[in-house]
Amino acid sequence: MNRKLLSGDEAIARGAWEAGCHVAAAYPGTPSTEILETLAGFSDVYCEWSTNEKVALEVALGASISGARALAAMKHVGLNVAADPLFSAAHIGARGGLVIVTADDPGLHSSQNEQDNRFYALAAKIPMFCPADSQEAKDFTRLAFEVSEEYDVPVLIRITTRVAHSSSIVTIGERAERPVKGYEKQVSKTVLLPVHARIRHVDLEHRLDRLRAYSERTSANRVEQGERRIGIICDGVAYHYCREVFPEVSYLKLGMVNPFPASLVRKFAAGVDQVIVVEEVDPFLELHVRSLGIEATGKDKLPRWGELNPRVVRLALGRPSTRRQEPREGSGEISTSAQAVNSRQPNDGNGLLGTVAGTRQLSPDKAIEPEPDLPSRPPALCPGCPHTGLFYALQKQRVIIGGDIGCYTLGALPPHNSMDTCIDMGASITFAHGCDKALGRNDPRRRVAVIGDSTFFHSGITGLLNVVYNKSDVVVVIADNRTTGMTGHQDHPGTGRTLSGEETVAVDIAALARACGIERVVAVDPYRVKETRRLIRELLKQPGPAVVISRRPCALLVRLREKPRKVNTEKCTGCKTCLGLGCPALTMVGEKTMVLEDLCAGCGMCADVCPQGAIE
């Protein structure tokens, strides 16, 4: 039997490797840093330091969407930075297994705050495993990848400093090779437009129902029968502290804390005289236990801050020591202000994670079905919108396009079909990067990102830095319409005006891209559709990262002086090439194109693409 002495961080890295992980990304932070440092020692896993935790999770999500098993690791406060993609990832799911490690720091050994990230699992509706030692850290990591793929959901692993940095003997195994499944376009799953996200949320609730049943039967949650007078419910390293202090009592050790195994807990509580919940920091387990109507001792005796250890457990719960060890005054080892959680309201038997009203009675389609007498009005870009020309230029290219948040997200819809994802602000570039690392040269399609100017300033810059630093082959298109268009034309660092209208520095996007390390930066006018398409095609033929700035002010900001266009019906052949622009001002009358003068902005993009020169 092959055994090694590993720290918890090293064991997680080993578990990821054994599980066939392909891509791993992280931002360093105590106590999680050693996970990626160890995993980078395995040559068959691509590993990177990302520019921050949000970028790391988006890179891993991009790899997962591309069919690769992926891992993102960070310390607890890093998950605050990554919370935006975390919630979106739960909706999107995991094509290749996606595991996220949060390393919490009870006691603030090296952190600016103390927080309990088990609540992230509850809020984001994501399953969570909490290993108690290095063996479980490795085993739960392998298990998390399996659960992620089986239930189409990212999985959180929560460790604490003592698990991360303490070492114990681990039985190791061999790598289970998992071929990358490859990328398949699933717009309704990966483009979180509201119309798609509503359905994905309902689907997520159904996935949680299945995970709730899994949590009741998984071996990660186990009962250790001892004396009936006390039954201790605990997770993580607290289990070992309790075993040292109370070796004779009964235990329900929870390795999977979300979804909460309510039936298992009820059965365990019914078999003991007194229930005690022992956990570090916040009363996560205790809240669930009490929501079931079960009387329990917990944070009314144990501290809500700092680490636990055997001494604190013994003193707080009144177990005499075999040697004299009085608590140090002012040491915080015994909680004097712990608040009892006395909410014992009648419950419906489902605990905190009960059925979401309405989702079981209606199918996803029925639940979001519009009123039947409303006319159909599909969303579309505005007449004269410069993004129209950009998306026309991107159509029919052999590319995978990461999209972003803004009115240009409509480029995912027909007739453009020029966007593969919409995850969160700034994720277009990082998705494309993760996709590139997962697929490599096995997929000839170039990876492209489309992001607006305001979104680029919001959180795209870190993604672009990551592309340069970690050497990926991504072409980034910045749709620069000189404003924050979707929310009503607010200014941003590129417009040269503050909120109060004062003149200020207008940041040069091209100079900024070059400062990030991009050597090929070109600007195009999307109204010149053919030229834009030609330049983009040329760039796509050249390897290496590049930035295209598609610059033209929002059509609603700049009133065009040109008159509305008209169609010369004698020249029009009805080829419908112009309809590929998706401009609302274009329609067909019989077999000829017609320009709706009331809508036409006179931009001339339709005239530029008409092969007959029929639009004048």
User: With contact defined as beta carbons under 8 Å apart, do 185 and 420 qualify?
Assistant: yes
Tell me what pLDDT residue 583 has: 94
DSSP code string of 335-399: -SSPPP--------SSGGG-PPTTTTTS-HHHHTPPPTTSPP----PPTT-HHHHHHHHHTT-SE
Residue 358 pLDDT greater than 70, yes or no: no
pLDDT tens across 273-315, in order? Answer: 999 999 999 999 999 999 999 999 999 999 999 999 999 999 9
Tell me what pLDDT residue 562 has: 75
Picking from 289-298, 321-330, 385-394, 464-473, which range would have the lowest pLDDT averaged per residue? 321-330
pLDDT tens across 114-168, in order? Answer: 999 999 999 999 999 999 999 999 999 999 999 999 999 999 999 999 999 999 9
Distance in angstroms (rounded) separating the CA atoms of residues 255 and 243: 15
Residue 373 confidence class, pLDDT cut points 50, 70, 90 = low
pLDDT tens across 43-58, in order? Answer: 999 999 999 999 999 9
The label of the residue with tokens 């693409």 reads 609
Tell me what pLDDT residue 306 has: 94
Half-sphere exposure of 112 (CA within 13 A, CB side): 4
Tell me what pLDDT residue 486 has: 87
Tell me what pLDDT residue 319 has: 78
Angle at 121 between CA 303 and CA 14, to 5 degrees: 95
Instruction: Determine the average pLDDT of the residues in 412-433.
Output: 96
State the pTM of this model.
0.90
Residue 359 pLDDT greater than 70, yes or no: no
Residue 599 pLDDT greater than 80, yes or no: yes
Instruction: Determine the average pLDDT of the residues in 375-382.
Output: 75
Residue 318 pLDDT greater than 90, yes or no: no
Tell me what pLDDT residue 408 has: 93
Instruction: Determine the average pLDDT of the residues in 376-402.
Output: 90
pLDDT tens across 468-496, in order? Answer: 999 999 999 999 999 999 899 999 999 99
Tell me what pLDDT residue 335 has: 37
Tell me what pLDDT residue 377 has: 65
The label of the residue with tokens 């009820």 reads 266
Buried b / exposed e across 440-476, counting CB within 10 Å, b at 16+?
eeebeebbbbbbbbbbbbbbbbbbbbbbbebebbbbb
Look at phi and psi of residue 93 and say left if phi exceeds 0, alpha if psi is from -120 to 50, else beta.
Answer: left
Tell me what pLDDT residue 340 has: 31
Tell me what pLDDT residue 426 has: 97
pLDDT mean across residues, the chain: 91
